[in-house]
Structure 1
Amino acid sequence: MVQVPHLPEELLQSVFSNFERTELYDWDERVKRQMLRSICLLNKQCYRVAQPMLFATVDIQEGSGAVGKLLQATVREPRLATLVRVLRIESWRGFDDERTISTEEAKYLQDTAVPAPDILPPVANVHPILGTDLAGQLLADAIEGSGDIFCEGERQIPCPVLPLNVLRDIRLTYALIDAKGLKNLLLSSPCVETLSIEWGDSCVGSCELRYDELGDAIRICHANRSLHNLKSLTLDDRAAQDFAREDLDDEVFPPLGDLRVLSILQTLDVPQSALVGVDESLDADTDDSA
């Protein structure tokens, strides 16, 4: 091991913080992660200071096997689970492989887990291990996802390590979410403080986007003791406007409605249509008169 002189930990934290990840996973972020891994190998002091930065944000990419690796690491050293603060999920569509941990990995986990029942449920057949079996093992309180699907008939939150009940920050981009999916998500996340949804375009898929139904979902969730901590709400449907209502027979789409139940809301960032509604018959009349 390389000999590195011991320095004040405040100084090391200041230096190592330059290698913390700040953006979505890209080449620069991969370099930063590798740098933190290398720093952890310098000496015990560097390991102690840099390890929380290394595990603070975990990227789970499609087909990377990251869920299994993360679970193995937290079984070997349970303290690591407390360091994870943000999960960045590339695509929840690709989680079929991630939800299944190989028989060899499962046996390894059973052999090394202490105590095993705290990590794995007592099941006779450990292959496959489904998402709900591992939920809540991490203490992350924020999640960023892209290409997310929350629609009627779709499996909700197919992430083995996502602790919904403690999430405080949910940011979904390129998402496909309808009122029922939003209700299911929020009822599972009673502590959320920041909710940001950016709908995807037709390449993601199509779903009914009705602000009155989204508003109803918000009010239902609040009545069921969710959203009492919501401080920031962002809804961005610009990319979805081409398809979100084209298959619906209605011409009038009401707005979100009364949101006064969100008593501590500080930031509301929504399009005009969410506040006043949409009347497509007026557009048609304008076109005819022209």
Structure 2
Amino acid sequence: MAESEEEVDYMSADFLAQCVGKDDVRPGLMFSHSSKRQAEMEKKKKKKDNEQRARFKPVKEVQKERLEEGLSTAISSSNIGFSMLQKMGYKPGTSLGKQNQGRLEPVSVEVKSDRVGLGWQEMIAEHRKKCEERKQKKRNKNKDDADPEKYRARMRSQRQEKYLQQDLMKSQRVCYQMDSKQDLEEPVEPWFWPSYVFNTEEEEDDCEEEEEDYTEFEPEEQLNILTAYLRSTYCYCIWCGTVYDDERDLKQNCPGVTRADHDD
């Protein structure tokens, strides 16, 4: 049988020194007198520094406190301007003016302590407000996306708007082609034709000025008016893609006057 070895004392200071080293001064691991004394000295020094800071405030902080104290203190009767007001009949605590309709308190003073240009802080505040509004809008959108019903409703609305724009542009192109075959030099309404038709800048500017009179028409209303014009004038349905022989043929063979009628 092998010679029994001496058992290791895992709670001894020698064993701790081998594990963490002699420079480790964490609480509960101080096993030398010098390390304990150094830790106590650092603790006392830190406490003394904190007391020193509390007793002697920084110059800027002292100046700020004195400024706020001075601005918040009412003007005394020893002030020349105040004494002149009293001679003219002013009584402390009353408003200015013959009928006491003026200000009760002096105009507050806003001290500008930075070197930033005038108006810059307002611009920064406005910019931060807009950023916060965008973030809030994005958060609301994420909440809506988390709700299946709201998400499907939003996607359905976007899809319908996309189809609406496509149908309107198609109607404008067809209207331009058919009006051109009839030798019409200008549309019945400025927005009946695509904007690219008006090549010259002068004609395009005139068209834009005329379009301003029809800003009350939403895209859906424009589509309804334009498709009605194509059906009544040329017996044409943009969703069928067909020019019918006459109005009777159009009514009998065309499913309806909307995209939904053709989707059924």
Structure 1 length normalisation: TM-score? 0.15
Higher normalized contact order (CA 8 Å, seq sep 6+, divided by chain length): 1
Greater helix proportion: 2
Q: TM-score with structure 2 length normalisation?
A: 0.16
- Decide which structure has greater strand share: 1
